[in-house]
Amino acid sequence: MHTDTIGYKIRLLHNQIHKRMEAKRQENEKEPLTGMQRWTLGFLKDHDGEDIYQKDIETEFSVSRATASNMLAVMERKGLLQREAVAHDARLKKLVLTEKARALVDRSEQDMRDMEALLSKGLSETEIKNLKKYLDQMLLNLDVDITCPDNSFCGGMKK
């Protein structure tokens, strides 16, 4: 029976997680953000206190200069980030999160923690550890690179 397959159960779980997280996202975001804008906010939050420039966004997410420039301009208009001059080079503008963006990222991170707690409810620490090990093996079986250095965009296909 197809409903008893691993793939079916993972797909069902994925759909439910996506549905619930999307509802939370709509509740939290007055103006909808694209996935790339959310990734960028997370990247900037992860690198808080560091000087991050447009070029870093281009490199981290493998996007063109024009794509990054347009996206950052929209985010600036939405009040999510500011570009600030740096003392050592007047041509460079570092990207700085606004308080509005910080609050949005904090709410999003809390929603993810809440989802993680809901998913692991009723499971022991050992069961959670084993589940992660099994999922990692399934990802490896599909040639997905599961190694992910801290503060990096991950989950891509192996080269």
Q: For residue 149, what pLDDT is reported?
A: 54
Mean pLDDT check: name the lowest of 20-24, 32-36, 103-107: 32-36
Predicted pLDDT at 150: 52
- 52 with 127, same domain: the answer is no
Number of domains in the chain: 2
Element spanning 48, H or E:
none
| Separation between Cα atoms, residue 90 and residue 131, nearest integer Å | 51
Digit-coded pLDDT (tens) for 71-123 = 999 999 999 999 999 888 888 999 999 999 999 999 888 998 999 999 999 99
Could you give the CA distance from residue 139 to residue 22 in angstroms, rounded to a whole number? 24
In this predicted structure, the answer to whether residue 152 has a pLDDT above a threshold of 60 is no
- Domain shared by 81 and 159, yes or no: no
Shared-domain flag, residues 144 and 114: no
Q: Do residues 155 and 144 touch, judged by C-beta distance below 8 A? A: yes
Same domain, 100 and 146: no
State which residues form the domain around 26.
2-121
- Whole-number mean pLDDT of the chain? 89
DSSP characters over 62-122: T--HHHHHHHHHHHHHTTSEEEEEETTEEEEEEEEE-HHHHHHHHHHHHHHHHHHHHHHTT
- Residue 45 sits in the same domain as residue 29: yes
Same domain, 138 and 103: no
pTM (2 d.p.): 0.70
Same domain, 72 and 43: yes
pLDDT at site 148: 64
